[in-house]
Amino acid sequence: MAAHTSAHAQITVYTNCDAFLGAVVNPGVDTYDDLLVEMYAPSLNRTAGAYNYTVSAGEGIYGAGEGGDGWLSTNSPYDRIAFNNFSSVVYALGGEFFGSNLLGRFTPGTTIILTALNGTSATYVLPESETGSFVGFVFSSPLNSVVVGTFGEGYWPTANNLVLAAVPEPGSYGMMLAGIGVLGWLARRRRT
């Protein structure tokens, strides 16, 4: 009994992981800990929990990381990481984004640029990034792609702990509210 109206796609940006996780359902994480510090193909098929996706970079994916913590990077500081070909239920993407150096190690004070697309676009610039710098996008329609890059100033775009998730559908909220209303009406009727 809920009406559905089509609206212009909206994107909400989160810089706090807990707030992002509170806005989504069924999150899946890809830690990249299986990647070695070496060169990979320009495109990799990956999973984050129950979600499938493709990650690509023009000159190839580069495994990076420090202290046993694997990261995902590119082979060139001028290249970008593209996340796309998501499972149809993916409405949200978040993760830790920062810069790394030629050896795949963290570079402090870097600026990362993220652009999300789903019929509309949003760009978020993350200045002074750290290994725990979180950015998440929540969409009102299925996700098309997210592209991560730098200004090419001697550091490479890097990602870690990528989270893909669904979002509660507005129709689900309507049905839940209707169900609560019916339960309240039944409880009131029983009292009389």
Residue ranges of the domains in the chain? 11-190
63: closest CA among 36, 34, 29, 44? 36
Give pTM, 2 decimals: 0.83
Residues 31-82 have pLDDT tens digits of: 999 999 999 999 999 999 999 999 999 999 999 999 889 999 999 999 999 9
2.60.120, 3.30.390, 2.60.40, 3.40.50: CATH of 11-190:
2.60.120
More confident of the two residues 116 and 175: 116
More confident of the two residues 3 and 169: 169
Residues 11-37 have pLDDT tens digits of: 899 999 999 999 999 999 999 999 999
pLDDT on residue 121: 86
Residue 185 Rama label (left phi>0; alpha psi -120 to 50; beta): alpha
Band (151; pLDDT cuts 50, 70, 90)? confident
- Which residues, at least 6 apart from 75, have a Cβ–Cβ distance to it below 8 Å? 39, 57, 59, 60, 61, 62
| Half-sphere exposure at residue 134, Cβ-oriented, CA atoms within 13 angstroms | 14
Report the Cα 36 to chain-centroid distance in Å. 22
Residue 42 DSSP label: S
Band (90; pLDDT cuts 50, 70, 90)? very high
What's the whole-number mean pLDDT along residues 132-144? 94
pLDDT on residue 7: 45
- Which residues, at least 6 apart from 97, have a Cβ–Cβ distance to it below 8 Å? 112, 114, 126, 129, 133, 134, 135, 148, 157, 158, 159, 160
